[in-house]
Structure 1
Amino acid sequence: KPLTMYVNDFDLNGSVEQIICAFNGDTAFPLAMKDDLVRQIPTLERSYETFKSYSGQTIHDIFTEDILQRSIVLELNTLENMVLLNDGFGNFKSSPLPSESQLFPVYAMATDDFDHDGIKDILLGGNLSRAKPETGIYSAGHGLLLKGSGNGNWLAVPADSSGFFTRGDIRDFRIIKINGKSVISVARNNENLHFYTF
């Protein structure tokens, strides 16, 4: 079953809330912890004064059918990091990236011929150190080079071979020229810039 997000002004206070639910079988449960949900929708405090009273509650237990029916319901079926390849005629084909690129949220991407073989490669960066305790931090995205094959497939190159390894929450890459050399500048959240030549 897909992840589902209910979008609504649940408590009619003029502010729109989003509640993400995951399915267990055919039953949708909110991912939000009790305190987080009550902070967004204070009227729920009366119904859920304790963690035990909230435990095991489905989205249909928490809200009436009337409220849920006036919600916008969005579904997420694919969580893979992927690229969309243009065939040149306005058609796009999705191509999932290698399994190594699925271990972290991607916030930065750059394409270039990083290994000088005439084929475009992809550089990915990410991480999320400020996450909620129930989800944990994401710290596996130290910069991953994906070597292009020219046919829409990529091979992950280990950091000891690519020479690219940056700790922190990577948020952007820029390819710049300095003294005729190509340089990747790496922007990280609340950190100094890193630079790599290729």
Structure 2
Amino acid sequence: GGEPFLQLQCDELHTCWFENIGNGKFIKHFLPAEVQFAPVNTILSEDVDNDGKMDLLLAGNEYNADVMTGRYDASFGCYLQGDGKGNFSFIKPSISGFILKGDVKDMKIIQTSAKQKILLSAVNNDRMKFFLIRK
């Protein structure tokens, strides 16, 4: 019985992260403005700089958009350095070397037998992109 569908509504379009404080309660934290320029399709949490603190790698864009609005392609990917207290700072691509153009749909990090970390990124209608994480 009953209706098979429940209509939902989204009231927040910022890219943010949620801190689980227990008992089913969460605190919303906004990510820096540089993350908000385009849709984010994938986020990885990884200690990129080996300082013992979690960092974030984000990528996205959306090329399959309505003809009237055009595609959403303002992102070149973002590396956010974490301070271990829940704050994240945008690191410029010219400093980090993380530039990921295109309609990015997913990212994964693999570790080679030589203990190197490699970031794999799936870009829609394009070749996969690879980054060696050097730290």
Please report the TM-score for the alignment, with normalisation by the length of structure 2. Answer: 0.86
Match of 2:119 in 1: 184
TM-superposition CA deviations, 1:77-106 (whole Å, max 9, x none): 211101111235543211111111111101
What amino acid is the match of 2:25?
Answer: N
Out of 74, 77, 92, the position equivalent to 1:143 is: 77
Q: 1:88 to 1:181 in 2, by over 3 A?
A: farther
1:128 and 1:184 map into 2 onto residues whose CA distance is 21
**Does residue 107 of the first structure (1) align with residue 38 of the second (2)?**
no
Equivalent positions of 1:57-72 (< 5 A) are: none
Corresponding residue for residue 35 of structure 1: none
Give the Å deviation of 1:191. 1.3
Q: Which runs of 5+ in 2 are unaligned?
A: 1-5
- CA–CA distance in structure 2, aligned partners of residues 93 and 74 of structure 1: 21
Task: Provide the identity percentage.
Answer: 35
Code of the residue aligned with 1:125 in structure 2: it is A
Q: 1:54-133 counterparts in 2 under 5 A?
A: 74-87=8-21, 90-133=24-67
Query: Equivalents in 1 of 2:8, 2:21: separation in Å?
Result: 29
User: For residues 73 and 53 of structure 2, what CA distance do their matches in structure 1 show?
Assistant: 29
User: Aligned to 2:94, which of 151, 155, 160?
Assistant: 160
Greater helix proportion: 1
Larger Rg: 1
Matching residue's letter, 1:77: D
Query: In the comparison of the two structures, how many residue pairs are matched?
Result: 128
- The two structures, once aligned, show a CA RMSD in angstroms of 1.9
Gaps of 5+ in 1: 1-71
Q: Give the corresponding residue for 2:129.
A: 194
Change (3 A) 1:152 1:125: same
TM-score by length of 1: 0.60
Cα drift, residue 172 of structure 1 = 0.7
Higher relative contact order (CA closer than 8 Å, sequence separation 6+): 2
Query: In structure 1, what is the Cα distance between the partners aligned to 2:42 and 2:30?
Result: 16
